Amino acid sequence: MKILIRIISWLPSQVLRLSKGYTSHYASALVITYLLGLVKGYSFSNLAFMLNQISLETASGTSNAITSYNNTNGMNCVAIRPTTQTSCTDNEESLGIYNDIYDSCVDRFIWDNYWGFDLAKSDDDYPNQVCTKYHTSPTYLPSVNSLGLSVAKFVRVIVLIVVPLEILLPFFISIKILK
């Protein structure tokens, strides 16, 4: 699935990068998380919450965590659950380090599964449940929610338009070549 998601996410990520000026890491994180969430059956509102978390945790793709460590969710070094982290930073933050953006996005879903939140992936209460373990500060959920739906809606539109074109374009090219 990793190769398929990477292939399918490449063009939508480039469209986001070029149309919104997002960094390539940030655009990839948004599209990969959205696609993985769709495959795993997350509701749009909960995917929007996850995309907003990425926006908040990475300062919209400009933080050192995402640019240096491929860490899309501000995940600390993992000690007690399965993870895709390869190592951790030696500083006081103790952030997880990932091989690539895809592995970091997958780790967020592993985290959900470990805590049992993937069972609530279509529930309205999912963000509240996640905040009981992910970030327990009383200001965290309002901060994530304050970002609204604009990023998620834009990602959804780009994916809905670009992915079918990405899949169909080689088909149409091959038909034209065969004629």
Condensed to tens digits (0 to 9), the pLDDT of residues 59-83 reads 999 999 999 999 999 999 999 999 9
pLDDT given for residue 48 in this prediction: 96
Q: How far apart are CA 65 and CA 84, in angstroms?
A: 15
Q: What is the pLDDT of residue 175?
A: 66
The model's confidence at residue 176, banded by pLDDT at 50, 70 and 90, is low
User: Beta-strand (E) ranges in 82-156?
Assistant: 87-88, 96-97
Rounded to whole angstroms, how far apart are CA atoms 71 and 28?
A: 12
Confidence band (pLDDT; 50, 70, 90) for 136? confident
Q: Is the pLDDT of residue 143 over 60?
A: yes
Q: Is the predicted pLDDT of residue 173 greater than 80, yes or no?
A: no
Q: How far apart are CA 163 and CA 7, in angstroms?
A: 10
Query: Of 32, 27, 20, 36, nearest to 55 (Cα)?
Result: 27
Q: What is the pTM of this model?
A: 0.90
Q: What is the pLDDT of residues 98-121, one digit of tens each?
A: 999 999 999 999 999 999 998 899
Mean pLDDT of the chain: 91
Helix, strand, or coil (residue 86): coil
Q: Give pLDDT, residue 8.
A: 85
Tokens 């933080």 belong to which residue? 63
